[in-house]
A = this chain, B = another copy of it.
Amino acid sequence: MRATVIHGPHDIRIEEVPDPEIREATDAVVRVVNACICGSDLWAYRGVAARVAGQRIGHEFLGIVEEVGSEVAGFARGDFVVAPFVWSDGTCAYCLDGLHTSCPQGGFWGEVGSDGGQSEAVRVPFADGTLVKLPKETAGEEKLLPSLLALSDVMSTGHHAAVTAGVRPGATVAVVGDGAVGLCGVLAAHRLGAGRIIALGRHGQRTAIARTFGATDVVAERGEAAVEAVRELTGGQGAHAVLEAVGTEESMRTAISIARDGGAVGYVGVPHGGSAGVDISQMFNRNVTLAGGVAPARAYIPELLPDVLSGAIEPGLVFDSTVGLDGVPDGYRAMHEREALKVRIAF
């Protein structure tokens, strides 16, 4: 089969690789229907996150089950499924707590020795603990696929930011980051009943999606000016809940500074700035909580799926480009150069 392989910074290739096959009795093999490129893939693309040359890449996909191991109970050939961005056994204490990302037997698609999602097929470890079944007929609903695909990561991650920031009905929410995750954070906050949602962003296409997703205000400023703008919008107090979806030192500093006293920052941007942006004295004096982390998408998909199926939320609007597998290397370039917000791969 063919798969996306990363050989080094800015060196993404489509190559012939061995077909995946059942290795453990708990495995499944899934034929990919849709996959996509994530903002976090760009850290590897840019060489900021190290990868071994030849590693697979891609961690978001929808697919059809092709084969299951003898111990897989919940899935059969022909099932339509969505994969969260990590696999998990579904039986450990962490999985039972809903923190599948801490499963000791879990792993991340594309890590050395595993398949990546940006490929024709994927071997899925612990299929029962990992995959979530989708209604079969939706596999043919072109309009629905992007939103189902978004459950793999960006919508679940935006939801995690909203949940860990403590978004409640009526709350004032601010979202730092106008990438796909930030936009899904806006959507998640709106879904949870936020009264006011301030999106920080300056790109017209993105802030338009933010408005569609429920943002009531847009702040184009950055850094100190952004802090002032949010404070002005909130009577000097800041937001009850701040969703941080960037991961840099500056974005964290901004996020903490625009939180209301007693409020919380839910951060889901993979940290690339160390802790220098975490002003612990400011947090202490103002009782600002810092929560979040890598999102347990597997725990959230069952909750979010009905709203996707009903059309109540349409996170798939974050995809503004669709390519075939051969178009993936150019998709990376386009996202890197901010020509594209998020690229979907249709097989």
Contacts and interface: CB of A to CB of B under 8 A. Distances in A.
A131 interface: no
Residue of A264, A292, A293 with most chain B CB atoms under a 10 A cut-off: A293
A280 B284 contact: no
Interface in A288-346: 288-294, 296
B279 A275 contact: yes
How many protomers of this protein does the assembly include?
Answer: 2
B287 A283 contact: no
Interface residues of A, number: 36
Nearest to A279: B275
Contacts of A264: 291
A280 B275 contact: yes
Contact of A287 (B262, B286, B293): B293
A330 B280 CA distance: 33
Nearest to A293: B287
Nearest to A94: B261
Interface in A250-290: 252, 261-262, 264, 267, 270-271, 273-276, 278-281, 283-290
A105 B289 CA distance: 23
A224 interface: no
A101 interface: yes
A62 to B, nearest CB: 26
Nearest to A98: B262
B287 A102 contact: yes
A16 interface: no
A70 interface: no
A289 B271 CA distance: 14
A285 B295 CA distance: 9
A93 interface: yes
Contacts of A278: 275, 278, 280
A237 interface: yes
B271 A284 contact: yes
17 contacts: A94-B261, A94-B262, A97-B262, A99-B261, A99-B287, A164-B287, A267-B284, A273-B280, A274-B280, A275-B278, A275-B279, A283-B290, A287-B292, A287-B293, A287-B294, A290-B290, A291-B291
Given A275-B276, A286-B293, 4 more contacts: A101-B287, A271-B281, A278-B278, A284-B293
Interface of A: 93-94, 97, 99, 101-102, 164, 237, 252, 261-262, 264, 267, 270-271, 273-276, 278-281, 283-294, 296
